[in-house]
Structure 1
Amino acid sequence: MSDSKFLRGTMILSLATFMSKFLGMIYIFPFAAMVGQQGLALYQYGYTPYTILLSLATLGVPMAVSKFVSKYNALGDYRTGQRLFRSGIIFMTLTGFAAFLVLFFAAPIISDWVISNPDDIQGNERGDVVFTIRMVSVALILIPAMSVIRGYFQGFRSMGPTAVSQVIEQVVRIIFILSVAYAVLYIWNGDLGTAIGFATFGAFIGGLGALVVLAVYWKKRKGFIQKQVENSVETEPIPLTKMYKELISYALPLSFVGLAIPLFQLVDMFTFNNALIASGGFSQGEAETAYGAFAGSSHKLILIPVAIATAMSVTLIPTITESFTNKNTKLLQQQITQTYQVILFLSIPAAAGLSVLSYPTFAVLFGFEDMEVGGYILRYYAPVAVLFSLFSVTGAVLQGINRQRYAVVSLVAGLIIKVISAYPLIYIGGPAGASFSTLLGFGVAVIFNMWAIGKFTDFEYKNVGKHFLFISLFTVIMSAAVLLVKEGAVTMFPLQSWGNAFLVELFSVVTGAGLYFILSVKSGLAGKVLGDRFTILKK
C-alpha cells in the first residue's frame, strides 16, 4: 500500500473514531429525556465498571496488534503475524469471558456499594443495579476478540475495517438503546430498571453489528492475506510467550492511560451517593439524581469540547514522534508549542462558556425537571474539560517521545489524590465536591506530564505562557459579556419554558463565540494558533 493510501486510511480512521465518540456523546440527550437523571445514574452503575473491565480485558490490543503485525510484515514475515492473530482471538475470547464472569458475579457486591440506603423508595433498587450490570457484562464475551481482528487489519495498513465497524457499532448500539428504552417505558409500560437494563444490552448488540462488518471485510480480503502468508520469508518460529511479552510491552502503557477518565468515574461511583447521604442533606433518590446529572449529563457535555480540542491537536503527534526521532529540536519545540496552544485556545473558552451558561444549557438539553441540581453541577464540572484535554494530549506527546511510563506515573499520582479527596470534598461541598476532587487529581497528573515533557525535550513554556495569558484575558472578557447578555435575556425570557431557555442560550452563545472570535483574530492570536489549518486567519 502506498504512503498516500495509508495516510488517507489513517485520516479516515481518525474521522471515524471522532464520529463514533461524538455519536456516543449526543445520544444522551434523547435518552435522558426518556429515563431522567436517576435513570442515567442507573445506566452509569452498569457502564462504568464495564468500561474498566473492557479496557483491562483488551489492554489496548488494536494498536498493539497493529504495531506488532506491521513490524513483522515489514520484515516479510507474514506468518508470525498470522500466528498472533489466531492465538490472539482465542486468548482475547478467554480474557473477555473471564471479565464477563467477574462482572456478572460481582454485580451484587457493586450494588451494595452504590445503594447505601435501599429502603428509600425514591431511589433505584439493588435488584435493578444487579440486572443492569449483568446485562452489560455480556458484551465482554464479544468485544475483546474483535479488537484483535481490527488490529490485524491495521497491521496490513488497512484502516477501513476498523473505521467502518466502529461507526456501525455505535450506530447500532444507539438505535437499540433508544428503541428499547422507548418500547419498555412507553409501549409496554415497563419500569425504569427494566428499560435501563435492556438499554445497556445495546453494547452487545452493537458489537454484533461490528462483527458482521468485520466478517464481510475478512471474506473480501482473506485471499490476499493468505497469499502474503504463503509467500512469507522463512524464519524460526517465535515462541508465543515471547510474542505476547512484546505485545504487552506495546499495549500496557496505552491501555492504562486510556483508563484515566473511567478510573476517576469509578471512584465517584463508589463515593458520590454515600458521601451525600452521610452528610445528611440528601436522600438516596436525591443523591442518585445528582449523580446522574454529574456522571451522565454533565460529563457527556464537557466531553464535547474535549473531543474537538483533542481531535485538532493529536494530528501533530505523529510529526512530534518523527521530529524527536530525527533529533530536530527546533521543530519539536514548535510542534509541542502548537499542540498546547490549540488545546488551550479551544478548551478554555468552551469550558468557561459551559460554566457561565450551565443552567440554560442544562434546561435546553435535559429539560427543567432537574435543572437546578444539573445546572449547579455543570457550573463547577465544566472547567474539568480543560484538564481532560491537556492530560490526553500531554500523554500522547509522552508517547511520541517514548516516555509512556511517565504518563502512567502521573495517572497513578492523580488517582491517589482523587481517592483521598473524593469522599471528604463531596461530604463537605456537596455534589460540586466531586468536581473539585477531579480537578485536583487531573491537575496533579497534568503538571507532572508537563514537567516530564519539559525535562526530556528541553521544552520552554515561555511562549505557551504568553499565549495562555491572552487566551485567559479574552476568555474573561467573553465570559463577562456572556454573563451580561444572559442576565438581560433571562429578564425578558424567564427560564420557565424550553423556548425561552433556547433563546437565552442562543443570544449568549452568539455573543460569546462572536466576541472571542473577533478578539482572537484582531489580536493575531487565532492566526498564530490555527494558521496552518485556517490560512485566512493569518491575513
Structure 2
Amino acid sequence: MAASKLMQGTKVLTVATLTSKLIGFVYVIPFTALVGLQGNALYQNGYTPYSILLTLSTLGVPVAMSKYVSKYHALGDYETAHRLFKSGIWFMAVTGLLAFLVMFLGAPALASLSYQPSETDQYTFDNVVYVIRMVSFALLIIPIMAIVRGYLQGFQQMVPTSVSQVVEQIVRVVFILAASFAVMSIGSGDLPRAVGFATFGAFVGGIGGMATLLYFYFKQRPTILARVQSHPAKERQTLPSMYKELISYALPLSFVGLAIPFFQAVDLYSIEGALSGTAYASEAKAFVGALTGVAHKIVLIPMALATALSITLVPTITKAYVNQDNKLLQSYITQTYQVILFIGIPAAIGMSVLAKPTYFALFGSANLELGAETLGFYAPATVFFSIYAVTGSILQGMDRQRNAVLSLVVGLLLKLGLTYVFLKWFGPYGAIWTTYIGFGIGIALNVYFIGRFAKFDYTFIYRRTVLIVIFAAIMGVAVWVFANGLAALFPELSRVTTFIVLLVSIGVGLIVYFYLAIRSHLAGKVLGERFKL
C-alpha cells in the first residue's frame, strides 16, 4: 500500500519529466544539423557554468522547501511554512540577481577556463564570452520559479511542477529552433550568434514556466490561505530561525544537486587542455559536443523516473521519518531501488548495444564513429546517475544531508584528481571512465549510509538486481542479433532505413525483457498488479 502511494505520487512527475527530457533531446537533432558538434560544444560552454550557478542561486530550495513544508504540515503548522514562502520569494530574487551579475561580469574568466584555440575552431574566445552572457539572463527568473515549485510540492501537489516543466521546455525549445534557423538558414549564418540566441532560450522558457506556476498558485491560493488560517503556529518563529532551518536543508541539497553539473564542468574544463598536443587535439571540441551536448542528453531520458522519484521521495520519506514509521520507510526505500534498477539497467544495455544506429539515425554520418562510440561507452551513466539521485534523496529525507554531501565530495575529488591523467592515458574516453569511478564511489557510500541509518537489509535488493541483470543481458543479446540481422537485409543503410531498424530493434528488446519479467512475476512485484499474469 505504501509503495503504491509512493508510485502514485511519482507518476505525474515521471510523465512530465520524461516529456520534458524528450523535448529537450529531440530539439538537439535539428539544432545539431544547424550548428554541428562544435556549435553544441559552444552551447555547453555557456550552459554548463549556468547550470552550476543556477543550482547555487536556488540553494536547493525546491526540494528543501518541500521538505520544510511537509515537516510542518505533518506537525499541523501551516502558518510557519507559508510565512517562509512569502519571505523566500524576495530572498530568491536577490540570489538570482547576484548569480546573474557573477555570471555576466565573470564571463571572460569562465570562458578562459574552457576555451583552447585550435586550427579547426569555428568560434573564438569572444564568442564564448557572448554565449555565457546570453544564458545568464535566465538566472533572474528561474530561482523565483524554484521556490514556488517547492512550496506546492510540500502540499504533495506535483501537477503544477509537472505542467510548468513541460511548458518551460516547449517554449525554450521553440525559441531555440526558431532563432537558430533564422540566423543559420535565413540570416547571416553566424554560428556564435545562433548559439547565443539558443542559450537565451533558457530565459524565454523561464517566463513560460513561471506564468504557468502562477496560474496554479493563484487558483489554489484561497484553499491554501484557508488552511493557513485554520492551522496557526503554536509558537511563532522568527524569520532568521526559519531561514536557518531551511538553509540547513538547502545547502546540502544544493551541493548534492550539483553532482552532474560539477562532473560535466570537470570534463568541459579539462578535455581540450588535456588533449592539446596529443593525437586527439583536432577532435577535442567535437568530442566535447558529442559527450556533453549529445550523449549526455540521451542518457538523461531514462533518468526521468529517477528525477521524479527524487522530488517525490524527500517530502514522502521526511513524513515517514518524522512520524517514526520505520515499516513505511523501509517500504519506500525497497520500492525505490526496485523501480530504478528495473528501468535503468535494461535502458543502459539497450542504448549501448544500439549506439551506432541511434547516432546515425538521429545525426547522420558526420562524426559517426566518434559520436557512436561516445554514446556506447557513456550509456551506463544513466544507471549511475539514477541510483545516485535517489540514494541522495533518501538520505536527505532522513536528515542525513551531511552523509550525502560527503559521498559527493569524495566522488568529485576522485573525478578531479583522475580526469586529466585518464585523458592523457586513454584519450577522450578517459573522461567517461572517471565519471564512472566518481559516481560509483559516491553511490557505494550512499548505499552504506542508508543501510546503516535506516537499518536497511540489502539481501532482497541484491537478489532482484541479479535477476534484472540476467534478463537485461538476454535482452541485449537478442537486440544485437536482431538489429544486425535486420540491417543485413538492406543493401545500403540510409538514415531512414536505419531508423526503421532502430525502432523495430527497440520493440524487440521491450518484448523480450517484459516477457521474461512478466513470466517470472518480477514485473508484477515491481510495477504493480497490472503487470501480473
Structure 1 residue 470, shift from structure 2 partner = 2.1
* 2:469 is equivalent to residue 462 of structure 1: no
Instruction: Return the alpha-carbon distance in structure 1 between the equivalents of residues 83 and 455 of structure 2.
Output: 42
Structure 1 residue 216, shift from structure 2 partner = 4.2
> Structure 1 stretch 98-107 or stretch 9-18: which is displaced more?
9-18
* 2:270 is equivalent to residue 276 of structure 1: no
Partner SS, residue 301 of structure 2: helix
Instruction: Return the alpha-carbon distance in structure 1 between the equivalents of residues 246 and 310 of structure 2.
Output: 27
How do 1:277-296 residues align onto structure 2 when only pairs under 5 Å count?
A: 277-283=276-282, 286-296=283-293
Partner of 1:3: none
Instruction: Return the alpha-carbon distance in structure 1 between the equivalents of residues 18 and 477 of structure 2.
Output: 32
How do 1:237-386 residues align onto structure 2 when only pairs under 5 Å count?
A: 238-283=237-282, 286-308=283-305, 311=308, 324=321, 332-386=329-383
Confirm or deny: 8 A CA contact 1:9 1:160 kept in the other structure: no
Partner of 1:196: 195
> Structure 1 stretch 326-335 or stretch 519-528: which is displaced more?
326-335
> Structure 1 stretch 469-478 or stretch 413-422: which is displaced more?
469-478
Structure 1 residue 471, shift from structure 2 partner = 2.1
> Structure 1 stretch 419-428 or stretch 262-271: which is displaced more?
419-428
> Structure 1 stretch 182-191 or stretch 80-89: which is displaced more?
80-89
How do 1:166-185 residues align onto structure 2 when only pairs under 5 Å count?
A: 166-185=165-184
> Structure 1 stretch 227-236 or stretch 303-312: which is displaced more?
227-236
Structure 1 residue 78, shift from structure 2 partner = 6.5
Confirm or deny: 8 A CA contact 1:58 1:92 kept in the other structure: yes
Equivalent residue for 1:419, pick from 412, 416, 421:
416
Structure 1 residue 164, shift from structure 2 partner = 3.4
> Structure 1 stretch 305-314 or stretch 360-369: which is displaced more?
305-314
Task: State the Cα RMSD in Å.
Answer: 3.1
1:237-296 residue CA offsets vs partner (Å, 9 max, x unmatched): 64332222122012222222211111111111101122222423322xx21111111111
Equivalent residue for 2:384, pick from 383, 387, 393:
387
The verdict on how the C-alpha distance between 1:139 and 1:536 changes in structure 2, with shifts beyond 3 A counting, is closer
The verdict on how the C-alpha distance between 1:145 and 1:439 changes in structure 2, with shifts beyond 3 A counting, is same
Instruction: Return the alpha-carbon distance in structure 2 between the equivalents of residues 521 and 294 of structure 1.
Output: 35
Partner of 2:476: 479
Partner SS, residue 449 of structure 2: helix
Instruction: Return the alpha-carbon distance in structure 1 between the equivalents of residues 74 and 466 of structure 2.
Output: 47
> Structure 1 stretch 175-184 or stretch 393-402: which is displaced more?
393-402
Structure 1 residue 149, shift from structure 2 partner = 3.5
Partner of 2:433: 436
* 2:521 is equivalent to residue 524 of structure 1: yes
Instruction: Return the alpha-carbon distance in structure 1 between the equivalents of residues 491 and 424 of structure 2.
Output: 33
What is the percent sequence identity of the aligned residues? 50
> Structure 1 stretch 427-436 or stretch 146-155: which is displaced more?
146-155
Instruction: Return the alpha-carbon distance in structure 1 between the equivalents of residues 128 and 519 of structure 2.
Output: 54
Confirm or deny: 8 A CA contact 1:290 1:373 kept in the other structure: yes
How do 1:401-412 residues align onto structure 2 when only pairs under 5 Å count?
A: 401-412=398-409
Structure 1 residue 500, shift from structure 2 partner = 2.7
The verdict on how the C-alpha distance between 1:312 and 1:512 changes in structure 2, with shifts beyond 3 A counting, is farther
How do 1:493-508 residues align onto structure 2 when only pairs under 5 Å count?
A: 493=490, 496-508=493-505
Partner of 1:98: 98
1:317-355 residue CA offsets vs partner (Å, 9 max, x unmatched): 766556555655566545433322222222111111111
How do 1:109-120 residues align onto structure 2 when only pairs under 5 Å count?
A: 109-117=109-117, 119-120=118-119
Structure 1 residue 389, shift from structure 2 partner = 1.2
Instruction: Return the alpha-carbon distance in structure 2 between the equivalents of residues 461 and 62 of structure 1.
Output: 30
Partner of 2:3: none
Instruction: Return the alpha-carbon distance in structure 1 between the equivalents of residues 253 and 361 of structure 2.
Output: 37
Instruction: Return the alpha-carbon distance in structure 2 between the equivalents of residues 155 and 340 of structure 1.
Output: 23
Partner SS, residue 19 of structure 2: helix
How do 1:184-223 residues align onto structure 2 when only pairs under 5 Å count?
A: 184-217=183-216, 220=219
Instruction: Return the alpha-carbon distance in structure 2 between the equivalents of residues 152 and 317 of structure 1.
Output: 13
The verdict on how the C-alpha distance between 1:69 and 1:180 changes in structure 2, with shifts beyond 3 A counting, is same
Confirm or deny: 8 A CA contact 1:173 1:206 kept in the other structure: yes
User: How many pairs align?
Assistant: 529
The verdict on how the C-alpha distance between 1:418 and 1:224 changes in structure 2, with shifts beyond 3 A counting, is same
The verdict on how the C-alpha distance between 1:278 and 1:423 changes in structure 2, with shifts beyond 3 A counting, is farther
1:72-127 residue CA offsets vs partner (Å, 9 max, x unmatched): 6788877655553443233222211111111112211222222222x524343112
Tell me which amino acid in the other structure corresponds to 1:175: V
Structure 1 residue 525, shift from structure 2 partner = 2.8
> Structure 1 stretch 235-244 or stretch 378-387: which is displaced more?
235-244
Structure 1 residue 527, shift from structure 2 partner = 3.0
Tell me which amino acid in the other structure corresponds to 2:177: L
Instruction: Return the alpha-carbon distance in structure 1 between the equivalents of residues 480 and 233 of structure 2.
Output: 70
1:349-386 residue CA offsets vs partner (Å, 9 max, x unmatched): 11111111111011112222121110011111111111
Instruction: Return the alpha-carbon distance in structure 2 between the equivalents of residues 458 and 251 of structure 1.
Output: 25
The verdict on how the C-alpha distance between 1:538 and 1:323 changes in structure 2, with shifts beyond 3 A counting, is farther
Tell me which amino acid in the other structure corresponds to 1:537: F
Confirm or deny: 8 A CA contact 2:21 2:300 kept in the other structure: no
Instruction: Return the alpha-carbon distance in structure 2 between the equivalents of residues 174 and 93 of structure 1.
Output: 25
Partner of 1:453: 450
* 2:47 is equivalent to residue 47 of structure 1: yes
Confirm or deny: 8 A CA contact 2:271 2:284 kept in the other structure: yes
Confirm or deny: 8 A CA contact 2:17 2:305 kept in the other structure: no
Structure 1 residue 221, shift from structure 2 partner = 5.6
